[in-house]
Amino acid sequence: MKRAFFYGDSNTYGYDPAGYWGGRYPRAQRWTTILAEGLAGEWEIEADGMPGRVIPAQGRPLFYLQDQLRAEMPIDLFAVMLGTNDLLGTLRPDAEKTTKDMDALITGVKELGVPQILLIAPPEIKLTDLSFEASYVRGDRSYAQRYQEEGRELTRRYRELASRRGVLFADASSWDLDFAFDAVHLSETGHAVFGREMIRVMQAAYKDR
């Protein structure tokens, strides 16, 4: 059986913004569980999601990820969905810089000899007034359009990066996802759709392998 390791932020963690003290949706409702069940018998799915996670910087943060992956070996696929917090956590969202950081992460993973990498462009950023009441969104309402524009630019750059580095690509920003009240975190319905879409991505990528 093949093994995949999914690395991401709060939407991989299954964060429920309506919960208390970092609450999560029930395991069965998280997209990672839906994916694992949909690919049962073909893939073993390991997931590491952490609220607030940004792309690990070169140096100690990236070394830590490499050590973590070494402990998980053998891995047939490393999948990463990060970049949203890199944009929302700053008053100067920069898709170009975020893409460079992701490029360095891909290099670090390739150094370990992982056979395949899947780069996932995060869901589209469409902030509402409620979004800016959350501590994890920097700025105020006037930044909404800028965040959205940089998010779209990030998707474009991620697509180009995946092509240039020879890794798989999935565009979650194009999926019809439903979000919780903060318009940042997936709702339970959003997790269900995300899980189904990711099953489709995995099956298509490995159809002839």
Per-residue pLDDT tens over the stretch 170-201: 999 999 999 999 999 999 999 999 999 999 99
CATH of 2-205, picked from 3.90.198.10, 3.40.50.1110, 3.40.50.300, 3.40.50.620, is 3.40.50.1110
Per-residue pLDDT tens over the stretch 9-37: 999 999 999 876 668 999 999 999 999 99
Q: pTM for the full model?
A: 0.96
Number of Cβ within 10 Å of residue 164's Cβ equals 10
Token pair listed for 89? 């956590």
Q: Answer yes or no: are the C-beta atoms of 195 and 34 closer than 8 Å.
A: yes
Regions in the chain scoring below 50 on pLDDT:
none
Domain ranges of the chain: 2-205
Q: Output the pLDDT for position 37.
A: 98
Q: Output the pLDDT for position 19.
A: 75
